[in-house]
Chain A
Amino acid sequence: MDEIIKDITAQEYKEGFVTEVEQEFVPKGLNEDIIRLISAKKEEPDWLLDFRLDAFRKWQGMKQPSWGHLTLPPIDYQDIIYYAAPKKDADRPKEIDPALAETFEKLGIPVREREALAGVVAVDAVFDSVSVTTTFRKTLAEKGIIFCSFSEAVREHPDLVRKYLASVVPAGDNYFAALNSAVFSDGSFCYIPKGVKCPMDLSSYFRINAAGTGQFERTLIVADEGSSLSYMEGCTAPMRDENQLHAAVVEIIVEKDADVRYSTVQNWYPGDAEGRGGILNLVTKRGICRGEGAHLSWTQVETGSAVTWKYPSTILKGDRSTSEFYSVAVTNNRQQADTGTKMIHLGKGTRSRIVSKGISAGYSQNSYRGLVQMNPGAEGARNYSQCDSLLIGSRCGAHTFPVIRSMNPTAVVEHEATTSKISEDQLFYCNQRGLGPEEAVGLIVNGYAREVLSRLPMEFAVEAQKLLQVSLEGSIG
């Protein structure tokens, strides 16, 4: 038993290594020339360059938001390298660089196609600013599914990209979305045609490697009428003493009767115990249920990042469309998280459900922030929200900031929230049965988060449980 505890407590952020590959960078700093350079490197059409420049001009006129319950270290936007890509090996242009392949294998991401026991997952692996490989493209193409890097999508399916890009998150939506729109480097694009059920889970894996850079990826998912898709997103970064910026945008369009499940296990480097370094995770994720009966569900497990500022949201436009948000956010040491969701009900009979479980330990601050809005047209709409916070230790904070707005007399909104600590009784009960304090807390926390974890695709659920354990180690006693 001692061995096991030692094993667990000795675990640190095991994804914190750096891969030695030759990389090319654009010069540090942010101005129109840099944006033109990024666009030129990616051989983009003029309309996309104009989109970037327009976003950049909007961004220049905006201020960094300060309403979050966060203490953000000052970000010098001129001190960031906005584009870093591993150099292509000229001899084997078709093959992925072995060093990169090894990196992703080490992270447990199957970048080479193979049958896994647990099921088959197609992966788009993004390394710093570029997508290095996308697996199972042929198999997916047979069904008419497009799954590729964003840059390829711009080249090969410009009409689709142009039609949907920024249709859910406009370029000037908020400070970080505007920044992303100006400098976004790569990301994943996915289109599921009418009536197609995607035969395997699709996945994006984001890896920050280079120092002094930020990652600005963009994901665009379109599920056409009657289609269905399960999408997973994972991320890690090396351990460094400086903060690194990650400002992503995810847009999801769900047409009539389509079904999209979007799962995230966010495990960016959280900084060390004293709060040095770590990723600043400032992302905008939003989906729209455009058609009748559309369904979008968000499931997230947030264990990493020094600062998390993230509100996956749904606009319920189609009548009788539904959406869910399931979240577990764990903060330890000096981590800060301000996360939640927005459910904007426009259509008749729309339904949404929010289940948020916050766990704070050490000196961390963990906030739930959410909006439920019933617009005048949302006849008979319903929302149920539950936000629970668990406190481990007397130095951390747990906060709940919901906003409920009703403009329709036939809509019903219910919200409840609780904040408490693990009770002495629960711990005593476990101790009595031979479980050590760490194990007991692990068990209780897993039980507490179960409702959310059970929503994750299988491989993810196992990983998430392990992550919860690791994230909380050292927080007891």
Chain B
Amino acid sequence: MSRVFIVGKSELPQQVSVGRDEVLDWVFIVLPGVSADIPLTVDIDGPGAEVRLSGLYLCGGDERVSFDIEVRHNAGDSHSHQFFNGIAGGTSRAAFHGRILVQEGAQRIKAFQENHNILLSEEARVETTPQLEIYADDVECSHGATTGFLSAEEQFYMRSRGIPESEARVLQMISFLSPVLARIGDAGERDRLSAEVEAAVRGL
């Protein structure tokens, strides 16, 4: 079950169940100009299941984007991995609410969650709440969340090598988002969407 959702164009599922040995690999893309609430609950009901959720959001105006993702490990021996990166500029508000729930008795779980954010402007706001709720002990769970800005040192490095500042910023943003794009399985689709994201970054 490998899919890419362009938020605002694709129809978004709100709940999905993943059974024994199934693999779910979903990528969400939010381009500038799109405001959306994206609630999603993933129930992992069978052992051997593997869930990968990734997403990127790019906000340059007055967008309101909010992910609300809950991954429930109802069965043991399952893995989940979440990876969401976002850039907020203008007067946008971006939020990532993610929860990993490991039910009692669901042992041998590996669950990871990452969310990174870059703020571009004074008026942009970012909120992130990565949560772990764990009722079993044989687990390896972790999450990481950061908010920050485009590093001036990196920009200086590139500028001293003849890359103009505006181009340096574009490169920084693309490299920040590309790990998410790399998760798109189909090469043709990946190239097409990467080009679209690059155009959007240049337009910020």
Q: Which of A391, A406, A410 contacts B117 (CB 8 A)?
A: A406
| Cβ-based interface call for B148 (8 A) | yes
| Cβ-based interface call for B175 (8 A) | no
Q: How far is the CA of A318 from the CA of B204 in the complex (A)?
A: 34
Q: Mark B124-162, 1 if CB is under 8 A from A, else 0.
A: 111111111111111111111111110000000000000
Nearest chain B CB to A141 CB, angstrom units: 48
Q: A397-B135, A409-B121 are in contact. Are A404 and B129 (CB under 8 A)?
A: yes
| Cβ-based interface call for A408 (8 A) | yes
Q: A391-B139, A392-B137, A409-B122 are in contact. Are A419 and B132 (CB under 8 A)?
A: yes
B142 pairs with A394, CB closer than 8 A: no
Chain B residues contacting A393 (CB-CB under 8 Å) are 137
Chain A residues contacting B149 (CB-CB under 8 Å) are 409-412
B132 pairs with A400, CB closer than 8 A: yes
A405 pairs with B132, CB closer than 8 A: no
| Cβ-based interface call for B107 (8 A) | yes
B130 pairs with A402, CB closer than 8 A: yes
| Cβ-based interface call for A42 (8 A) | no
Chain A residues contacting B138 (CB-CB under 8 Å) are 394, 421
| Residue count of chain B within 8 Å CB distance of chain A | 34
Of chain B, the residue at the smallest CB distance from A392 is B137
Q: Mark A443-455, 1 if CB is under 8 A from B, else 0.
A: 0000000000000
Of chain B, the residue at the smallest CB distance from A384 is B146
| Cβ-based interface call for A62 (8 A) | no
B139 pairs with A416, CB closer than 8 A: no
A405 pairs with B145, CB closer than 8 A: no
Chain B residues contacting A402 (CB-CB under 8 Å) are 129-131, 145
Q: How far is the CA of A411 from the CA of B120 in the complex (A)?
A: 11
Name the interface residues of B97-114: CB closer than 8 Å to any CB of A: 104-105, 107
| Cβ-based interface call for A41 (8 A) | no
A397 pairs with B133, CB closer than 8 A: yes
| Cβ-based interface call for B4 (8 A) | no
A408 pairs with B129, CB closer than 8 A: no
A400 pairs with B143, CB closer than 8 A: yes
A389 pairs with B147, CB closer than 8 A: no
Nearest chain B CB to A69 CB, angstrom units: 8
Chain B residues contacting A155 (CB-CB under 8 Å) are none
Nearest chain A CB to B66 CB, angstrom units: 13
Chain A residues contacting B125 (CB-CB under 8 Å) are 405-407
| Cβ-based interface call for A415 (8 A) | yes
Chain B residues contacting A401 (CB-CB under 8 Å) are 129, 131
B136 pairs with A420, CB closer than 8 A: no
| Cβ-based interface call for B119 (8 A) | yes
Q: How far is the CA of A126 from the CA of B117 in the complex (A)?
A: 48
A415 pairs with B146, CB closer than 8 A: yes
Q: How far is the CA of A16 from the CA of B117 in the complex (A)?
A: 50
Q: A401-B131, A409-B149 are in contact. Are A395 and B104 (CB under 8 A)?
A: yes
Q: How far is the CA of A140 from the CA of B89 in the complex (A)?
A: 54
A394 pairs with B130, CB closer than 8 A: no
Chain B residues contacting A413 (CB-CB under 8 Å) are 145-148
Nearest chain A CB to B67 CB, angstrom units: 14
Nearest chain B CB to A329 CB, angstrom units: 15
Residue among A400, A404, A409 with the highest chain B CB neighbour number at 10 A: A409
Chain A residues contacting B127 (CB-CB under 8 Å) are 403-406
Chain A residues contacting B126 (CB-CB under 8 Å) are 404-406
Q: How far is the CA of A260 from the CA of B147 in the complex (A)?
A: 29
Chain B residues contacting A392 (CB-CB under 8 Å) are 137
Nearest chain B CB to A51 CB, angstrom units: 35
| Cβ-based interface call for A417 (8 A) | yes
A418 pairs with B129, CB closer than 8 A: no
Chain B residues contacting A389 (CB-CB under 8 Å) are 132, 134
| Cβ-based interface call for A316 (8 A) | no
| Cβ-based interface call for A396 (8 A) | yes
Q: How far is the CA of A414 from the CA of B149 in the complex (A)?
A: 12
Q: How far is the CA of A400 from the CA of B136 in the complex (A)?
A: 14
B132 pairs with A409, CB closer than 8 A: no
Q: A406-B119, A406-B125, A408-B119 are in contact. Are A399 and B147 (CB under 8 A)?
A: no
Q: Mark A350-382, 1 if CB is under 8 A from B, else 0.
A: 000000000000000000000000101000000
Q: A405-B126, A406-B119 are in contact. Are A412 and B146 (CB under 8 A)?
A: yes
Nearest chain A CB to B59 CB, angstrom units: 13
| Cβ-based interface call for A223 (8 A) | no
Nearest chain A CB to B113 CB, angstrom units: 9
Chain B residues contacting A397 (CB-CB under 8 Å) are 133-135
A409 pairs with B124, CB closer than 8 A: yes
Chain A residues contacting B134 (CB-CB under 8 Å) are 389, 391, 397-399, 419
Q: Which of B104, B136, B145 contacts A404 (CB 8 A)?
A: B145
Of chain B, the residue at the smallest CB distance from A406 is B147
A409 pairs with B143, CB closer than 8 A: no
Chain B residues contacting A409 (CB-CB under 8 Å) are 119-122, 124, 149
Q: How far is the CA of A374 from the CA of B128 in the complex (A)?
A: 12
A399 pairs with B144, CB closer than 8 A: no
Name the interface residues of A36-55: CB closer than 8 Å to any CB of B: none
Name the interface residues of A104-162: CB closer than 8 Å to any CB of B: none
A residues near B, CB below 8 A? Answer: 69, 374, 376, 389, 391-421
A–B pairs, 10, beta carbons within 8 Å: A398-B134, A399-B131, A404-B127, A404-B145, A406-B125, A409-B121, A413-B148, A414-B148, A415-B145, A417-B144
- Given A415-B130, A418-B142, 15 more pairs with CB closer than 8 A: A394-B137, A395-B104, A399-B131, A400-B143, A403-B127, A408-B119, A408-B122, A409-B119, A411-B119, A411-B147, A415-B145, A416-B142, A417-B130, A417-B132, A418-B140
